[in-house]
Amino acid sequence: MLDIKFIKDNPDIVKENIKKKFKDSKLPLVDEAIALYDEKRDANNRASELRANRNKLSKQIGALMGQGRRDEAEEIKKQVNAQADELKELEIKEGELETRLKDVMMKIPNIVDPSVPVGRNDEENVEVEQFGEKTKPDFEIPYHTDIMAKFNGIDKEAAGKVSGEGFYYLMGDIARLHSAVLSYARDFMINKGFTYCIPPFMIRSNVVTGVMSFEEMDAMMYKIEGEDLYLIGTSEHSMIGKFIDTITPESALPLKLTSYSPCFRKEKGAHGIEERGIYRIHQFEKQEMIVVCKPEESMDWFNKMWSYSVELFRSMDIPVRTLECCTGDLADLKVKSYDVEAWSPKQQKYFEVCSCSNLGDAQARRLGIRVKGENGEKYLAHTLNNTVVAPPRMLIAFLENNLEFDGEKYSVKIPKALQPYMGGCERIVEK
């Protein structure tokens, strides 16, 4: 969310930013926000004037009563009562205007970084760099759930009976591999200086609206019926929410957390080969990272964070690339975003496994996350988030890139970095 004073002083900049995001339907929101702000300011000024006048008249009434001039005092009391009615109406109006202004403000996109390429949608995202050699095995790679089935590692049929479409049971070596990856990712981030965190898996609506746009909330979140609680779609939400209405000493920055959590998403609109299997599901587990830092350090942290994902995936022998999201593919709160995509030998293309985002001060403004500088002045922090790993999507990339076939049986090679988390196992073999 932008500062209303910035919008009022720079309406053309805000409108041009909306045009860069190809969201022209939101252009009227700028003028609407300014008009609501002016109306609210006028109401505030009139209310302040009435309060000051009330205090002045109250003193006059006291003085007149003390002098025995009751009739004059009663006349002034009538003025006070009349103004009290007007003040009451103004206070109601102030609250209504504040709600309307906030609603409009939360729909106006954040200002994207000048380095972000202009484009309409994800088809116009720009490749930044590739890491590792893209592979094309000399044997046909089965579909990822078929790979898992060869190791007796998945049961979607039973999950469908228990929970419906979009759920699964992981079993045996595949389930162990899933947990091993998460444990390895946890320790990887701890070794990078991040504090490990297991956050709440449900959050209140004020936190939801503080960390994401209304469009994202409707598309992703499951609400708990009858309660002001939502199941988290990513632990970033509850980790950023941890700092709601806080003032952190500048000397304590940056705040670096890495968290484990289950995640719950509606996940509508799968595509092609991804429509089957476990690419898009309603429940999964994830290791996440967030940083809360000074504004001047946020781009440095952005580059560090996506590079951590690249390093992690390469340590598991998975080729990846970074893709910069264009203006039209950025969520409204984001300033800049990179997707880290893993290579699929099966599909001979990359697919998203991590998303690294710099949100500037948008979340901090909504949630009241402030920093106290050495000079005592307070300012808004910058917040960033990035996926460390999100099995089972990451598991798909792992299995495809480490799958081997000797002509009779399939096996999966366990990279050295992961072997300690698999009890020293160097490979798992088809059952």
- Predicted confidence (pLDDT) per residue in 179-232, tens digit: 999 999 999 999 999 999 999 999 999 999 999 877 777 778 999 999 999 999
Q: Where are the domains of the chain?
A: 4-105, 122-429
| CB contact burial 292-315 (16+ within 10 A = b; e otherwise) | bbeeeebbebbebbbbbbbebbee
The rounded distance, in Å, linking the Cα atoms of 271 and 273 is 6
Could you tell me the sign of the dihedral formed by the alpha carbons of 396, 398, 403, 409, in that order?
negative
The rounded distance, in Å, linking the Cα atoms of 33 and 58 is 37
The rounded distance, in Å, linking the Cα atoms of 70 and 73 is 5
> In this model, does residue 42 exceed pLDDT 90?
yes
Q: Assess contact for 350 and 397: CB atoms under 8 A.
A: no
What pTM was estimated for this model as a whole?
Answer: 0.89
Could you tell me the sign of the dihedral formed by the alpha carbons of 146, 151, 157, 161, in that order?
negative
The residue behind tokens 């965190």 is 197
Fold of 122-429: BirA Bifunctional Protein; domain 2 (3.30.930)
pLDDT digits (tens, 9 = 90+) for 280-326: 889 999 999 999 999 999 999 999 999 999 999 999 999 999 999 99
CATH node for 4-105: 1.10.287.40
Strand order in the sheet with 222-223: 202-203, 230-231, 222-223
Judge residue 424's burial from the number of C-beta atoms within 10 Å of its C-beta, 0-12 exposed, 13-18 middle, 19 or more buried.
exposed
Phi and psi, residue 357, nearest 5°: -135, 140
Residue 286's beta-bridge partner residues?
A: 261
pLDDT digits (tens, 9 = 90+) for 229-268: 999 999 999 999 999 999 999 999 999 999 999 999 987 5
| Angle, in degrees to the nearest 10, between helices 28-66 and 11-20 | 140
Could you tell me the sign of the dihedral formed by the alpha carbons of 218, 219, 225, 227, in that order?
negative
Q: 82: helix, coil or strand?
A: helix
